[in-house]
Amino acid sequence: MKNIEVVAAVIIKNRKILAAKRGYGEFKGKWEFPGGKIKENESKKEALKREIKEELNTDIKNLKYLTTVNYNYPTFHLTMHTYVCDLDGNIEYVKHNEEELEYDEMVWLEQSELDEVDWLPADIEVVNSYKALKGVIL
């Protein structure tokens, strides 16, 4: 089974959390925390800052480690390192390719609303880790 290692951001703004709905690929229509793959010789935090710049055309700051999720999808094993961070700018919709947006929709959720979207399975574990903190890391 193929192993994929990624980073993801639980982005906070005004005590709300950003959820992003995939706009392409196998998981189109499912919700996730933005992020992506780590490049060779790149730290996890550097990778996350780069990915957020690429996907949302914005910056993040104050990255705090939250959790690492290991999840077996049908065709690959995912290791996802997740950080809580603050938004440092405005978010823009960015295209994945010429025809598809990276994300079809993005919403800001209160902690009490986190269960109201259809998260990808690995991201559900992140949601649960975040809720267990009861806002301590905000």
Distance in angstroms (rounded) separating the CA atoms of residues 69 and 133: 16
Q: List, in order of start, the domains of the chain with CATH numbers.
A: 2-133 (3.90.79.10)
Gap between the Cα atoms of 25 and 29, Å rounded: 9
Q: Given the structure tokens 């301590």, which residue do they identify?
A: 136
Read off the pLDDT of residues 88-127 as tens digits, 9 standing for 90 and up: 988 877 777 777 778 889 999 999 999 999 999 999 999 9
By percentage, how much of the chain surpasses pLDDT 70? 95
* pLDDT above 60 for 20: yes
pTM: 0.91
- Residue 128 CB neighbours (<10 A): 13
The pLDDT score that the predictor gives to residue 101 is 77
